[in-house]
Structure 1
Amino acid sequence: MGFDDLRSILLSERETGKLLQISPDIFDRTHAEIAALLKKVYAIEDPLSDEARALIEETIAIKETMHELFSIRSRKILALAIMHAEGNYYDREEVKRMLPAEHEMFDRVASGLEECQGILLNNAKQPLVPPLPAVLRGIESAEDEGDTVYTEVPAAPEDAEPQSPVSSSAAPPLTPPYMLVRVLQDMDTFMGVDGRIYSLAKGDIVTLPERNASVLSDRNIVIGITLPSCK
């Protein structure tokens, strides 16, 4: 998903008050484009070159456009959720145009509003909360002839491996090595190879990606700092 295509979608979404139909994988493709651009930045020997700067500026533009698209669509979805919770008319076709994650957000917000209305406006009782000690001990409740019976949940074996909610096939985030430096002179704001924006002034002591620090050190803009080892 290139910047021009994403920008066109944003402009269309901005010009209309209704939620538009967009590709279900638009955000996935945008993230893939950002990753591809950053990969090109990492491959450039001089991360402060004009080529690297152009790629970084394109990356920033795509991120900002993606965030604005999300913001505009979220405001529309929140408005629909409020109308739904208040029982007012709203276009059901707009709900059909939501992405799966957006539809889940709509359901959660609408459900939360309806529950809050019941408590505050209709004097509905709040759901009972299990006894605190029971929650802390991790027990289950079962109904036995109208009485609540608590039974202990068996503890996991000590040698059992913890279950992770993240798929084992998920790749770890790409994190470049960092270097502690002292800034020797003021410099323009720039984006590091880690995707962060840096605004540095003379006298600052910061950690920078090693590639950026190396280039700035060669230009006598920063100097590396070596911390004494603890014995």
Structure 2
Amino acid sequence: MDIEKLWEILYRERNTASLQELPERFCEDVKDYIARLETEKRKADETRKGFLEDEMRNARMKIEDIIRRRIGKIIKLASSGMDTPPKGMLDEEREIFQVVKSQVEEGRARIFAYIFGKPALIRNEPQKQEDKHTLTDTEHYNENDNDNEDNVNNNEHGNQYEYDIVRVLENIPTFMGTDGRIYKVGKEDVIMLPKTNAEILCNRGVAMRFEAGVYKKEGGERRR
């Protein structure tokens, strides 16, 4: 790593909207470069020492600018609803992405829950390190199904929400239901949704209602 390479990286970050792919050892290379300048400065004469101090100051400014611009892009990507971090992120940047994404989703859920007058249903229970794993789509959908069954039971005891069972006909972007929950559904999934959301999806032709062995869709029905 040297000042020219730092300038090239900064130039790309400044002039492109997307996140640029950094060398895998970017942080280590930059750290070694700064340490090398420090060592050389201690051995240099006064004239050379002045040049090295200028280079170190210039290098730090470029490094800070690179990181600041990249973090801004990462926050924008994480808050846009993107599920998977893009390629080219450093390990530390992937952690930032996941933290921001989680906080945005929880904050959005709380805001909607506040607006609709229902406490936010956010799970904050710590998870053991050995039990951590990424949910598959099937596990995610089953989790939503279990949550929705709880909601239906609550409805029988005076809960304000009504639910319909639907079969999803197309992949649908992640959305928030009128009950304040986040739903991630895919093609051919059968899932309970708030009645309002179910009606919207059926009217758009991307879902069918499911009742007593019959899939119902706006404009007609067919047997299972």
TM-score by length of 1: 0.48
Q: Which has the higher helix share?
A: 2
Higher RCO (CA 8 Å, separation ≥ 6 residues): 1
TM-score by length of 2: 0.50
